[in-house]
Amino acid sequence: MASGQELEDLPAKVAARDSVVLRPSKRRKVFSLVLGLGTAFMAVAGGAAVAGGSVAGLIALVPALPLALYWLVAALPRSSSLTLTRRGFQARHLFIRRSWDWDDALGFGARLILYPRGGDITLVSFMARGGREPQGDLLQGLAIRGLTRTTTLPDAYGSSAEDLAAAMERCRERFADGAAHDVTPQLSADIARSGAINSAALALLMAVMTAGGALLALAGEGTAERVLGWVGLALLAAGGAGALVLRARRQPGERSSHDDPLEVDATIEIARTASASGVAAATVERVLDAHYAYLDKAPRDCPVDEREEGTWIASHTELPERTVLAVLAAHLDFLRDAGIARDV
């Protein structure tokens, strides 16, 4: 657990030691233990029902067992940590490690994650060089982000996400040496592996739920269990058909390279541009707001004249044109580093 003062001095501590380790708060561990014991009780109850001959026990056993294992492992000492060194940082979650060089991250920010069924959580996220996590992580609602999300830290380690993100950004600015100019094979493999975990786990979950519904429908004891099984199968079929329809609408016959654009965190975008240009973040935000407004009104089939855009933004923001051009140049460098803009 890291206090505000400890995070303020984090770069100096990393520079003075071989490594600095941050761990989840005790409150987070207790919370994981309580959730683990509660879901374990549901899994045991479901297993006992199945052992007694009731197929309906699968309804409790199937979802509760993996969740109980997840939360109980998360409650174990030293199962999760964030290790920072002068070379990079390593996020360890449920004994799975992901390591990054400081140059792999283009900037850190706090990210609000909204869950489909309500609730939210704020975690530290970073813009990765040459890669980003897939949109629409379907397993996010099961809280296994530590296993599948490659650019969001799974914990805030006892502090606020905003404070930790600011401390990580100070470390990045101090220790990044510009050595990583290209996407490393490890980075590409890590992102691909995360996507594979998502797809495999989702397929397994759907298979188990389908099998459970079929068992209830065909071998359930009594009319109620069989009706429940058929309703479950119908809902799964409807959900699968709906997903296919949505995917078909998002992927028309001729798919262009712009159908799935890269995205950046606005906080990181502004902070990096401000740092590179030497202009205050508030001024950078004004310039970028005007920049995107200019792009919206500009013809799609014509190249943007930088001088003309700079003059337009200066007249609309009442800022010196020299300042505007410095911000635009730094912003273009940021987009190039992120793999979004490329030199022709």
Closest among 288, 285, 283, 308 to 298, alpha carbons compared: 308
Q: What is the pLDDT of residue 97?
A: 82
| Per-block mean pLDDT, blocks of 10 residues, the chain (344 long) | 69 89 90 90 83 74 83 89 92 82 83 63 75 47 47 84 90 80 53 61 71 74 75 75 59 38 63 84 89 75 74 88 89 74 48
Q: What is the pLDDT of residue 85?
A: 93
pLDDT at 164 (0 to 100): 92
Contact 118, 141 (CB under 8 A): no
Report the pLDDT value the prediction gives residue 344, as an integer from 0 to 100: 41
pLDDT of residue 21: 93
pTM score: 0.58
Token pair of 157 as six digits: 């380690």
In the Cβ-directed half-sphere of 129, how many Cα atoms lie within 13 Å? 22
- SS3 label, residue 90: strand
What is the rounded CA–CA span in Å between residue 101 and residue 103? Answer: 5
